[in-house]
Amino acid sequence: MSVRKVNYFAMHVSNRPGEAACLLKELKKQGVNLLGFTGFPDGRRSQVDFIPANTAQFLRAARKIGMRPGKKKTGFLVRGKDRTGALGTVMDRLAKAKINVTAVDGVSAGNGNFGAILWVKSKDVTRATRTLHAH
């Protein structure tokens, strides 16, 4: 299993069909590769989080297409072989270190692999990095 510390950018968009698809299409046109993307309703709007492979490229593209992402924050990208309890192992490490996970999205990625994105409070990023042996 590997854990990578990543930058992410959140922004609010209209909660309408196709809003995320439009943003993703425009980023693709700009050649932006995303390691992760997640979205969820937030009141009458939606929050979308982008995890770019290249932060500088993402920010240039976002400006060019008129996006207004929030400030850079830190999250963790987890990848590994799928097995029973795979994500539970990661969560248990953080729990034992008394680090609260504020949000997590995990998926079976097929071909025997799984992936997850998780977030901790900014005050816990350094400890989580050590605890998870993130690079």
Q: How far is it, in rounded angstroms, from Cα 10 to Cα 68? A: 9
pLDDT of residue 29: 98
H helix intervals, 30-64: 55-64
CA distances from 42 to 12, 14, 39, 71 (A): 8, 10, 9, 18
pLDDT of residue 94: 98
Q: What is the pTM of this model?
A: 0.92
pLDDT of residue 60: 98
Q: Which domains does the chain have, with CATH numbers?
A: 7-72 (3.30.70.260), 74-132 (3.30.70.260)
Q: How far is it, in rounded angstroms, from Cα 124 to Cα 65? A: 33
Per-residue pLDDT of the chain (135 residues; tens, 9 = 90+): 999 999 999 999 999 999 999 999 999 999 999 999 999 999 999 999 999 999 999 999 999 999 999 999 999 999 999 999 999 999 999 999 999 999 999 999 999 999 999 999 999 999 999 999 999
pLDDT of residue 65: 96
Strand (E) or helix (H) holding 125: helix 125-132
pLDDT of residue 35: 97
Sign of the CA dihedral running 81, 87, 4, 31: positive
